A and B are shown apart, each in its own frame.
Chain A
Amino acid sequence: MDREKIIARLTEVFQDVFDDEELQISDDTTADDIEAWDSLEHISLIAAVEKAFKMRFTMKEVSGMKNVGEMISILCERAKKC
């Protein structure tokens, strides 16, 4: 899966979790940009991303991700391996 496709799919996951069909994400998007994205919703988001991309984040990745760009990078890296 290339970066474009990953971003498109990831956008759908965000829209689903935050129940906002207009939500758009970019590399710089952080939890501060999305009102409903608190530490509790973060858990649902991570779980939904893992299901959508059929992968698992390591604990270090979950606690270390600073913005959506880092999440996309991790997903791209995993996609290469498979």
Chain B
Amino acid sequence: MISELCFPFDSDKIMSSKKKLLRLLKEHESGGVPLRIAVLGGSTTSDIIKVLELFLRNRGIVPSFYESEYAQYWSDAVFGTPELDEFKPELVFIHTCSRNIEEKPTVGEDGKSVAEKLEREYARYEKMWTALSEKFGCVIIQNNFEMPSERLLGNREVGCAYGRIDFITRLNCKFYDYAQSHNNFYIHDINYLSAAYGLERWHELRHWHLYKYAMSVSAIPEFAYSLSNIICSVMGKNKKVLALDLDNTLWGGVIGDDGQSGIEIGSETSEGQSYLRLQKYVKAHKELGVLLTVCSKNDPENALEGLNHPDGVLKPSDFALIKANWNEKSLNLEETAQELNLLPESFVFVDDNPVECDIVKAQTPEIVTINFENPEECIRAIDKCGYFEVTNLSADDAKRGEMYAANAQRAAAEKKFASYDDFLASLEMSAVIGEFDPVHIPRITQLTNKSNQFNCTTKRYTQTEMEAVAASPDYIRLCGRLTDKFGDNGIVSVVIGEKRGSELHIDLWLMSCRVLKRGMEYAMINRLVEEAAKAGITEIFGYYYPTKKNAMVSKLYEDFGFAQVSDDNGNTVWRLEVTGYSPKKIFIDIKENENG
């Protein structure tokens, strides 16, 4: 990652050094995920695209773009162009703003007539969305409308039938209703963004009249960053862990020196309130599926004493892992990553001490850091960094913290058994393995985009593509959910095989690393071979495509009993005769469905 493009960034520097930054990103590139993005603009889009490309490449997405001719967004979306059709966008961004509203209310106009205008205006947009999703089955990101730069009626622009801000607000609400009832459709909230930026600065009218930019050129990096956060989230690039320092981060003062009664936390003092607010904000991330961990230079008993402060809301049990010792923090973070079976790149580290942040950045550059001076700033930084941008919350997200806490208990239990098999048997595992259920498609898609380590082909799917796979008769699909006596792990494994005559080709084999070494992969292959036999398949082909992260599955098919067919620069192909398969021993009770 290039630090100039990490939050918090210097917008002016990015605008003036775009060319250099792109060159640097291309020099350091390795194995990004390609993505075809069509940008359909109602105003100029060229620099928006350039800066968006920088932010996306910095997060491991390599975009290619289709850009509509100036202000041709509507006709491109509704009627298409040969170039757009050929481009086959996976994602369409519709860059419209309140200047693109064609029919605005006139002063004194009656309510009925304004309501008709509103319907007509909205219908133009819905027509685009329908046409695009029917033609391309793509993800759509649509700007809402920002507030205008002038108010002819002053405050009366709202709360009045012909008020223009009233009109814009209603139009926005209609967009939100559509978003609530349609998957793969996301609002880019430029109404909030422009307000946070400052509406007067946002509406730099010179830049509209000179270049037809909908916002100040200086605001383009913030705009593009906000947009990139939605795209990164859709592509499964969100961070997973918020790793927090303790002293002067989650409370004021130093617990080792000041003791439990001496630290600032709770509603008694203004400083204490500020830290309490931060603790509440951090704790709310658990609902989003973000794991919380502690990384603090402290004696462990002191750390726990601080976290058990009666007025604090973050308790030891809220953390998936607590590392309180005197080792280097980068080392502790790497160990935490290992223990949670996650990659360091999934971590956001928060510390008030700039030196600690710099050391982490230098030692483990994959970890992003957030540094701050006071707790109010800290909330704002976590809020604006966009690393945990929500697009689709799956049911498993809210439970993720519990799942990892259960893993810690399992690790403790493991030590008590004479053999690993005894340990596995003691877990009382049961799994539901079966067809994709429509309600699970978001989670299945999310897994295909997030799993990097236990993933043989690293093939990514959008939700629309996954829906198509789920509906097609040409595939054998399996998803597996694993439960044990410590808790439900949720859906942890996905396999997709394409039928070609009597052959089955495994396009996707992945498993979440939180259930490594539990035999779940054996349960999946046993079932896959069964299903293949039923479908008249005689041979199964497995593929392994090496990446920087998936070395752990390079011999997976060999372990399953497949024979290697070819090796092309590390890309290996494996073959199994269905009749020659001997089922793997497992310690998991397999059920047909959730109730079985």
Report which A residues bind B (CB closer than 8 A): 13, 16-19, 36, 40, 43-44, 47-48, 51, 56, 59, 62-63
Contacts and interface: CB of A to CB of B under 8 A. Distances in A.
Contact of B17 (A19, A40, A56): A19
B554 to A, nearest CB: 40
B581 interface: no
Contact of B16 (A13, A40, A62, A63): A13
Nearest to B24: A19
Residue of A36, A47, A56, A62 ringed by the most chain B CB atoms within 10 A: A47
A62 B206 CA distance: 10
Given A19-B23, A51-B12, A44 B210 contact: no
Contacts, number: 43
Contact of A47 (B15, B20, B23): B15
B218 A47 contact: yes
Contacts of A40: 46-47
A50 to B, nearest CB: 9
B50 to A, nearest CB: 9
B211 interface: yes
Contacts of B211: 43
B47 A16 contact: no
Contacts of B18: 44
B16 to A, nearest CB: 4
B217 interface: yes
A65 to B, nearest CB: 12
Most chain B beta-carbon neighbours within 10 Å: one of A16, A18, A63: A16
Given A13-B16, A17-B19, A47-B218, A59 B47 contact: no
Contacts of B16: 13, 16-17, 44, 47-48, 51
Interface of B: 12, 15-20, 23, 46-47, 206, 209-211, 213, 217-218
Nearest to A47: B217
Given A51-B12, A62-B210, 14 more contacts: A13-B16, A17-B16, A17-B19, A18-B19, A19-B23, A40-B46, A40-B47, A43-B211, A47-B12, A47-B15, A48-B12, A48-B15, A59-B206, A63-B210
10 contacts: A13-B16, A16-B20, A17-B17, A19-B20, A47-B217, A51-B12, A51-B16, A56-B206, A59-B209, A59-B210
Nearest to B211: A43
Given A40-B46, A63-B210, A16 B12 contact: no
Nearest to A43: B211
B105 to A, nearest CB: 30
B408 to A, nearest CB: 49
Contacts of A63: 210
A18 B18 CA distance: 9
Contacts of B218: 47, 51
Which of B16, B17, B20, B47 has the most chain A CB atoms inside 10 A of its CB?
A: B16
Nearest to B17: A16
Contacts of B46: 40
Contacts of B217: 43-44, 47
A36 B218 CA distance: 21
A64 B506 CA distance: 62
Nearest to A36: B19
A25 to B, nearest CB: 15
A18 B23 CA distance: 11
A51 B46 CA distance: 20
Contacts of A19: 17, 19-20, 23
A18 B17 CA distance: 8
Given A19-B17, A62-B210, A44 B47 contact: yes
Nearest to B207: A43
A46 to B, nearest CB: 8
Contacts of A44: 15-16, 18, 47, 217
Contacts of A59: 206, 209-210
Nearest to A39: B211
Nearest to A18: B19
B511 to A, nearest CB: 44
A62 B204 CA distance: 15
A9 to B, nearest CB: 13
B53 to A, nearest CB: 14
A23 to B, nearest CB: 12
Nearest to A57: B206
A16 to B, nearest CB: 5
Nearest to A56: B206
